[in-house]
Amino acid sequence: MSASAMEFPDTSKAQLIDLKDYEYPFENLVFEGGGNKGIAYCGCLHVLEELGVLNNIKRLAGASAGAMVAALISVGVSSDELLDYLGQDIGKLMLDHEWGYLSLLPNLIKNFGWNHGKRIEEWFKKVLEKKTGNADVTFWEIYKHHKRELCVVVTNVNHMAVEYCHPKTTPNMPVCLAVRMSMSIPVIFRPSKYSANNGTMKHYVDGGLLCNYPIHCFDGWWLSMAPEDNFISRLRPLEQLHEFFDKSIRFGTFNKKTLGFLLFSDDEPEIMRTYLENRLKEYRCYKLNKYPETKLSKSRNQNSSMKMEECTKHENICSAFDKLTQVIAEHNPERQTTINMDMFIAVLLDPELNEEDHLLLFDKVIVNERDVKNIFMTLDKNSDDKIEYEELIHILETKGINVQSRFLGYCSRQVNSLQSYLSALMETMLTNTKRAFIVEDDRYRTVGINTGYIDTTDFCLEQDDKNFLIKQGWNSTVAFFREYLDTHRDDLKERLPRSEQISTNA
């Protein structure tokens, strides 16, 4: 895909006018893994270039496909170049097995993975050689010559733990090897092997397996290059070394100069989704760009429309239920744990609940006490003349609304085939491991990108699919900076005009 084909929203220039007037404090960028959805990062990077943020970046990190993006930016790749690289047929580069499905079982037994991963590694080496002159450039060499710290998150299978490849921890490791490790999806790719200082061979797989969004990696002292944070000074006494494995010890100090980028599609669970989408609504960037007329879009459009209608209906039911509980609270000043018949009659005949609320919750308009008594008897499953919490919640459950899903903050997944089972199993692991690394304040330093109908494993994308992702990345990044400007305007320095910047630098 040519960089000249990169498309942005029609109002892109107008969106940035006031944002360009300020200097922003960000020095660290972190990219979540997300497969081919990562093309959206091209739109994000273009906003950072326009706002002058990219020039100030000193540290980059990522897991899985996000590790490749971080590595490319660390050696000076622009948004246009990034699009040229990511816009290629990634599917052909990633999947290099022979004999199709016939090789699946033999390769799993012999090499623990279906694909070799050599083709993508060799391609990435050529890119690094073009940008640095050395296909096997190390973390330390990038730090020395490009003045940027790169962190690639990998999973050490032998140690069953997350590891952070960085000029401080693995200065002599080739970056191409670390990225290859971080992109080695279990089963799909054979694990990478690497011998550390003691000569013991270890197996490494996808960093996203345990930490797909390493937003914390530049917090604390673990990856700090400050002289006082060197390992010799920090990692003592030896008998207490195990205590340093705790995240709160190594990454305890929150770094406000970190900005993260996170990807989620319509069907993927995301624990920060509600806040991130509310930000887009508030800053008028919420409306998804119109889905293009592509093969992939059409195959999912009907399902997406049905989901949207169902989602709207569910939200209306939940709003009506919220009104119901509010009215119950008003008629229950003593905070009783159950609802008797008299209270229920007073609640349902309260004028705060209108006919639409009645229809949404009970499928009929309630006009008298007889109607209320019939509903009461229906809800009172154990016939004890009172309605308990579980019986009240039954109203929502009968409408197809899973209260547990709303408590978690994301929807449950349908499991009706081997593929959907494996997908749900992987997302179960990713979602719950994310909870181990994410804290509430991370949402204030995260750009959330809704990739719509495009999922992680959609390798075959048309030009319009890619343009859709780029626009989503652009809009989400603009929304973040609009919120940041609103909440930090008094703390930001005004940006000098370009002519004054040149004269100052001279």
Is pLDDT above 70 for 305? no
Average the pLDDT over 116-134 and give the result. Answer: 90
Average the pLDDT over 326-352 and give the result. Answer: 91
Whole-number pLDDT of residue 486:
94
- Amino acid identity of 391? E
Distance CA 61, CA 218 (A): 9
DSSP 8-class letter at 416: -
The CATH superfamily of 3-219+254-271+411-505 is Cytosolic phospholipase A2 catalytic domain (3.40.1090.10)
User: Which residues are CB-contacts of 420 (< 8 A; sequence separation ≥ 6)?
Assistant: 413, 414
Q: C-alpha angle with apex 457: 302 to 461, nearest 5 degrees?
A: 70
Whole-number pLDDT of residue 1:
47
Distance CA 392, CA 372 (A): 14
Cross-strand partners of 186: 189
228-264 confidence digits (pLDDT tens): 988 888 776 666 666 667 777 888 899 999 999 999 9
Handedness of CA 486, 488, 492, 498 (dihedral sign): negative
Q: What is the mean pLDDT of the chain?
A: 83
Range(s) within the chain of domains with CATH label 3.40.1090.10: 3-219+254-271+411-505
Distances in whole angstroms, Cα of residue 39 to Cα of each of 24, 35, 86, 451, 455: 24, 9, 6, 10, 12
Number of helical (H) and strand (E) elements in the chain, helices listed first: 22, 10
Lowest-pLDDT range of 65-74, 257-266, 311-320: 311-320
Active site residues: 64, 206
Whole-number pLDDT of residue 102:
77
461-477 confidence digits (pLDDT tens): 888 999 999 999 999 99
Distance CA 448, CA 72 (A): 21
Is pLDDT above 60 for 281? yes
Exposed (0-12), middle (13-18) or buried (19+): which is 184, by Cβ within 10 Å?
A: buried
Higher pLDDT, 506 or 260: 260
Let me know: does 174 contact 138? Beta carbons within 8 Å. yes
pTM (predicted TM-score) = 0.76
Neighbours of 265 (CB within 10 A): 18
Lowest-pLDDT range of 1-15, 90-104, 389-403: 1-15
Lowest-pLDDT range of 202-206, 418-422, 423-427: 418-422
- Residue 466: which of 82, 183, 12, 68 has the closest Cα? 82
Is pLDDT above 50 for 391? yes
Higher pLDDT, 458 or 417: 458
Distance CA 348, CA 354 (A): 9
CATH fold label, 304-407: Recoverin; domain 1 (1.10.238)
Indicate the pLDDT class of residue 164, thresholds 50, 70 and 90. Answer: very high
Higher pLDDT, 280 or 425: 280
Is pLDDT above 90 for 48? yes
131-158 confidence digits (pLDDT tens): 999 999 999 999 999 999 999 999 998 8
Is pLDDT above 60 for 11? no
Whole-number pLDDT of residue 22:
95
Distance CA 472, CA 290 (A): 10
Range(s) within the chain of domains with CATH label 1.10.238.10: 304-407
Whole-number pLDDT of residue 498:
57
Let me know: does 140 contact 172? Beta carbons within 8 Å. yes
